[in-house]
Amino acid sequence: MNGDQVLELRKALGLSTAEFRALMGVNAATLTRWEVKGERDVFADPRSARLLEALHQVMQRVGAERLGAEIRGALKDRGGLGAVYVVLGHLFGPVVRTQ
């Protein structure tokens, strides 16, 4: 994924930079570095690269507006990990939480 695609993904989902950073688990400098790369590839760690790809796949399936709303709700209620669970739930089915 290149910098333009990361920026497009964030904007399509309607996420602020702070929301996207919380979802991705990266700091402000990292997200800025990714987004300013333009057509050059983003060299994300393996976890971040897989999450970016998963976001793209899920957005194609359920739509950017719906996914963005679900992510924002999860970020508000459960934080970044909760938002990741939303994405994984769309990929693999509901994530079962145990107490």
Q: What is the DSSP string of 5-69?
A: HHHHHHHHHT--HHHHHHHHT--HHHHHHHHTTTTSBP---HHHHHHHHHHHHHHHHH-HHHHHH
In a domain, 22, yes or no: yes
The pLDDT tens digits of the residues spanning 46-93 come to: 999 999 999 999 999 999 999 999 999 999 999 999 999 999 999 998
In a domain, 99, yes or no: no
In a domain, 46, yes or no: yes
Indicate whether this model's pTM tops 0.85. yes
Question: Structurally, how many domains does the chain consist of?
Answer: 1
In a domain, 98, yes or no: no
In a domain, 44, yes or no: yes
